[in-house]
């Protein structure tokens, strides 16, 4: 089979992937449905876009790629991934969060298992230079003792977005899971979780405020909060026996040493995060090289989706 990479989608994220693949000198083809997005993608990436959709491309090509990157709208992720598996593509990087809800992600997990497909979900924040530096410090300090995070969404902005109702009603999964994934990636997988929610929004009926706490399988305590009707921003704090590591914004790393009150900025080599969408270059590099330990596979994402589902409810849960 050809070493060509299939890039599905022609919107903003597909354009960012195309820039990375071009810089890497990779052989790839972009497949979109057509329209204005294809024209913009061609202009921004300098690469041609095959128009007509993925099924048409796969049914016509005699040179089917063996791996694919899927960067399509949230509501279409499951459909495209299943189509690729049906046509025999067995290595796929699927844009986050992989599906609209737990049920879709579970369905993809089953499909990947049955077809022996290596299916990964693309949470690019795991590959930030700030995160890589933090992982070195955490290891040096002997691990995480506790952590906390905030995933407040700016509802006044979200409310004005031209998004499908299915995406807005699942905004926690579509967007907030980005910061929750990063916090759990660094802090550890929950063993127990106590979750509280209150309120609602016109576009999100489940809640407008979130709070909770728990303990990880390694024994680290954690807590979280979010109030989508108030002020706030995404942030993650990781505590070791020696330091507090602060990501606010997530692309930057600040440190407070034990016994000190000042917080200092950590110098990081973030050239790739400046030249490309942050985290994307190293994420693609990881996927293509097969060194995928920092990527989350669809089976792990199924477990995470269950956690996200619980965080939208009131209750105590064990995993």
User: In sequence order, which ranges of the chain are alpha helices (DSSP H)?
Assistant: 12-24, 36-45, 54-60, 77-86, 102-115, 129-141, 155-158, 165-168, 171, 177-187, 271-275, 280-289, 298-311
Domain that holds residue 97: 2-124
The pLDDT tens digits of the residues spanning 9-46 come to 999 999 999 999 999 999 999 999 888 888 999 998 88
- Tell me whether residue 280 is in a domain: no
Bridge partners, 264 (sequence order): 255
Note the pLDDT of residue 1.
Answer: 41
**Would the pLDDT of 270 be above 60?**
yes
What is the overall mean pLDDT for the chain?
Answer: 95
**Would the pLDDT of 160 be above 90?**
no
Cβ neighbors of 244 (< 8 A, separation 6 or more) are 237, 238, 255, 256
The pLDDT tens digits of the residues spanning 104-131 come to 999 999 999 999 999 999 999 999 999 9
Helix (H, G, I), strand (E, B) or coil at 47: coil
Find the helix or strand (DSSP H, E) in which 256 lies.
Answer: strand 254-257
If asked whether residues 82 and 102 sit together in one domain, one would say yes
Q: How many CA atoms lie within 13 A of 128 on its CB side?
A: 21
Domain boundary among 102, 124, 146: 124
If asked whether residues 132 and 105 sit together in one domain, one would say no
Note the pLDDT of residue 166.
Answer: 84
Give the CATH number of the domain where residue 71 resides: 3.40.50.720
Note the pLDDT of residue 161.
Answer: 87
CB 19 within 8 A of CB 275: no
Helix (H, G, I), strand (E, B) or coil at 125: helix
- Tell me whether residue 8 is in a domain: yes
If asked whether residues 141 and 38 sit together in one domain, one would say no
Q: What percent of the chain has pLDDT over 70?
A: 99
- Tell me whether residue 278 is in a domain: no
Integer Cα distance of 190 and 222 in angstroms: 9
The pLDDT tens digits of the residues spanning 39-85 come to 999 998 888 999 999 999 999 988 889 999 999 999 999 999 999 99
- Tell me whether residue 277 is in a domain: no
**Would the pLDDT of 2 be above 80?**
no
Q: What percent of the chain has pLDDT over 90?
A: 90
If asked whether residues 100 and 171 sit together in one domain, one would say no
């Amino acid at each position: 089979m050809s070493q060509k990479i299939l890039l599905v989608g022609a919107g903003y994220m597909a354009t960012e992937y195309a820039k990375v693949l071009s810089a890497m000198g990779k052989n790839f083809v972009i497949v979109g449905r057509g329209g204005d997005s294809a024209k913009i993608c061609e202009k921004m990436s300098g690469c041609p876009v095959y128009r007509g959709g993925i099924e048409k491309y796969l049914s016509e090509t005699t040179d089917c790629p063996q791996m694919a990157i899927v960067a399509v709208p949230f509501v279409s992720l499951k459909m495209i991934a299943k189509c690729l598996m049906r046509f025999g593509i067995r290595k796929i990087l699927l844009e986050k969060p992989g599906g609209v809800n737990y049920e879709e992600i579970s369905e993809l997990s089953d499909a990947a298992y049955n077809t022996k497909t290596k299916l990964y979900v693309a949470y690019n924040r795991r590959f930030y230079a700030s995160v890589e530096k933090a992982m070195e410090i955490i290891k040096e300090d002997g691990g995480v003792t506790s952590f906390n995070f905030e995933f407040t969404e700016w509802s006044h902005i979200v409310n004005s977005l031209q998004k499908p109702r299915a995406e807005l009603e699942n905004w926690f999964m579509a967007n907030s899971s980005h910061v929750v994934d990063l916090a759990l990636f660094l802090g550890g997988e929950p063993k127990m979780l106590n979750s509280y929610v209150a309120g609602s929004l016109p576009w999100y009926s489940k809640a407008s405020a979130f709070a909770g706490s728990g303990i990880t399988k390694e024994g680290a305590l954690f807590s979280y909060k979010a109030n989508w009707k108030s002020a706030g921003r995404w942030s993650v704090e990781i505590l070791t026996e020696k330091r507090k590591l602060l990501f606010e914004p997530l692309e930057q790393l600040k440190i407070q040493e034990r016994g000190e009150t000042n917080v200092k900025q950590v110098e990081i080599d973030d050239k790739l995060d400046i030249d490309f969408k942050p985290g994307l270059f190293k994420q693609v590099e990881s996927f293509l090289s097969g060194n995928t330990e920092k990527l989350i596979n669809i089976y792990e994402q199924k477990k995470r989706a269950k956690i996200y589902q619980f965080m939208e409810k009131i209750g105590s849960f064990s995993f």
